[in-house]
Structures are given as structure tokens and as C-alpha cells.
Structure 1
Amino acid sequence: MKKGIKIIFWSLVAVNVIFFAVMRSGLFDTRQILTAQPELLADKIILLKESQSAANLAQSTPAITVPAEPVADVPTVAQADTMSCYEWGDFSGVELERASNALNKLQLGNKLTQRDTEHSIGFWVYIAPLKDKAAVAQKVAQLKARGVTEYFVVQEAGEWLDAISLGMFKTREAAQKFLEGLNAKDVRSAKVGERASKTKTTTFVMSGLDAAKNEKLLAMQKDFQGTELKRVACH
């Protein structure tokens, strides 16, 4: 028994001696197994701030350009010009007053102005002088019965005393057109003549009328025979 223990003891001693001898010989140098790394130079290390790191990263990263999508041209819709401008004339005497009252109903305000023109020679539609006041009164009654309410009995002494003026006009054409309207009302005794005296006529100028007022004006003009309503350029 004692002999066996001695054998084990000396065997362990021998193994330790052999292991120590091998390690001393350098056959198993672990420094040759690991790959050597270069020594870090502490004095060369600089800590970058967060903003500097981001800037360096941006410089080192190539910029990526995203092509912009073409923007389609948007057509500009011009607002339709619905405003109208007119000149309406010529008016004088009772017709001027009647037309002025009719236009006031449209409440045009500063959109309505008027232009006065003097004429040395004009034309009128008239009924020749009657023989006396009774004949004048009878003729006036006939005119009213036929729907003619605008007239003027000449009171001045002279060749035209007791004549009945039905309207003054700048041109013969306008007077003739007015006479045709009277004939349609069965007024047969009226005629067109030249009136050799200074007359003043008025033309109404209207600007910026909308569609509703435009329609009312066109309808209104039909009640004023012998006048001209023309559309003009707006300024």
C-alpha cells in the first residue's frame, strides 16, 4: 500500500517537472499566436464635438440629388368682363326730363353722367300752327287719346304760334324715325321740319352696367323713339 502511494507521488512530481521544462523552452509562446496590434498613440487622439462629427459625416457622404417633379402650368382664368358702357341720346325738352326720370329708377349713381351739345340748326317733329286755341285743345286731346303725352304748344308770337312741338332732334334721320313711331300710333298730322335756331341736346353716358341693368336699359330705350342707344368702349 505504501509502495503504491509513493509511485503516484513521484509520478506527479515528474509530470510537473516535465511541464515546467517545456514552458521554459518557449515551444508554446502564446504571444506568437495572437496577431499583434499597433500601439495606440494617446497624444494623437482628439475627441470631436457632436456638431463637428456631423459636419465631417456630411462632407464625406456624397449628396444625393432628387430630381424635382415638373410643375404643370396652371392656366390663369381671366374673369369675364360682363360690364357694359353706353351712350344714349339725343334728348331735349320734355323728352330729356322723361328720360332722366326713367334713368333715376336704375339708381346708377356715379355710373351715370351726361354730355350737353349745342346745335345751331336742328330738326323737329311738329304739328303745324292751328287756327285758334280751341283747335289746339282738340288736337291735344287727340294726341293723349293715342298715347302721346309729351308735347309742347308754341306760345311765342310769330309764324309758329299755336304749333305743337312733339320733339327736337339733332339729325333729320332721328326726327324721321320718331315720326314713324307717331304714325304707328295713328298720328297723321305731324311732320319733320328744320328748326333754324340754337338747340341744346343731352346725351347720357353710362358706364359699368351689369347684366341686369343692361337688360333694363335696353327695354327702356324702346319707349323713346328717335333716340339712339349705342354701346361704347369702357374707359
Structure 2
Amino acid sequence: MLKLFFWLLLIANGVLFAVNRGYLGATASERHEPKRMAQQLQPETLTILPPNSEKLVTPARAAEQAATAEADKSAKPASDAPAASAPAPQADAKTEPKAEVKADLKAEAKPAPKGETIACTEIGNFNTVEARKFEAQLTSLHLPAKAVPRSVQEAGSHMVYIPPQDGKDGADRKAAELRRLGIQDFYVIPESQTNPALRWAISLGVFKTEEAAKAYIGQLIPQGVRSARIMARNVTSTRQAYQWRGIDAATKASLDSLKAKFPNQEMRSCTG
């Protein structure tokens, strides 16, 4: 047994020696990398590139764009299908009744409504100096409607009163009626009044302006007093007012702007 083991070990050493010497062909060392590098064809044409090199990124982008274009081409037939069915509503639109079209044409053919016309507007009361200034600025506006001047008697005060009725007895009955209505602030004008039209009349108050007097009458009417009147007292001077009749909205706007330059004056409606 030992002899067999000896001879096997001797044979193995002999084979190993023959391989290392190359008696059996190329050695293992000749087949390693240095030998292979010597056997390369045109190794100078090879270049080692870094990971972020543009030469590596550009082909990748080109491949990505090609893939995107291919996906768009495959999606295009699906988007063309709804477009092919789009003309269908046009055919339905052609079947609309002609009567509706004619009605729309008639509605468009109707003329635009005319602007609202204001019957009568008045601005005043001006003294002589203010009237000249107002007329100068009015002329510069070149309004289509002509102003009509009129004289206005300016009163120092306005009295709200109930006219006399059957002398003293009528005044007493009216005074009792006012008390029942809850009105206590009044004055019975005696027979000694110099103005005969006011004897046994009942004064309900004296106001500086006519507008204030009208406002007070508006408060008396809901309480049941419907016979009250307004009388101007202490007429002091004659003033100038201007009237315009049948004016449109544009003219009214111009007059509003002009009146704003005279804040002490009043703009009011008047009878047409």
C-alpha cells in the first residue's frame, strides 16, 4: 500500500512539473491578463469614460425620446376616434326649427328703448350776482334744451296753518279736534290779526324754508290733519330761477354737475 501511494505521488509531481515547464502546452501564467492584453487588436481605440460623461448621457436621452415618440404614435389613433365622431352634433344643429332663428332675428331688430325724459327741472333761487355767474357757465355747456328764467319771491319764513272756519266757534271746534288727535303745539290767531285772511285761523308752526314746512305737513297727515296749508311770510326780495322742460338724462347729468358749483342753490322738480 505504501508503495502504491509513493508511486501515485511521484506521478502527480511529474505531471505538475511537465505542466509548469510547458511540455503539455501553454502554461497557466501565459493565459493570465498580461498575455491577453498583448493579444488585443487595436487597443488604442478604446477609451475609459467617467460615469457622467456626455457620450454616455446623449445615447440614453436619444433612447428615451424614441420611446416617447413611439408611445405618442400608439396613443394618436385613440385620440382620433372622438374627433371622427365630433361632426355628429353639427347635424343635430341643422335640425333646429327655423322659427327660433326668425324669433332671434326679430329680437335683434327691435330698436333700443328711448331714454327717459324729465318733464321739468328748476334751479334757483339766485340773486343778481349769482344769476350772472350761473348764466355764464350755463352758456358754456351748450345744452340742447333752452333755460327759461322766472322770478321767485323769496320769503323770510313759512307758516303752516289751518284756514279759519266759521269764526271763533269753528276755531274752537278745530282746536278741540287737534287735542283729540294728540297735537298740542298750535296757536289760535285772534280776531285782532291785521290780515283778515288769518283771523281765527290756527297756526301749527313757522319754518324758515318751504321744504321744512312741507316736511311737517307730511308728519301731520298720518295723524289725521289734512286741512293744513303753507303761507309765505315776510317777503323780502325777488330771486331768479331757471327751468328746463322735456330734458333727457344726459342734460340732467350736466345740470347736476353745474348745480354742484352753486351749493347754496336748490334743484327741484316743477310742473311741466
| TM-score over 0.5 for the pair | no
TM-score with structure 2 length normalisation?
0.28
TM-score with structure 1 length normalisation?
0.32
More helix by share: 2
Q: Which has the higher contact order (CA 8 A, sep 6+)?
A: 1
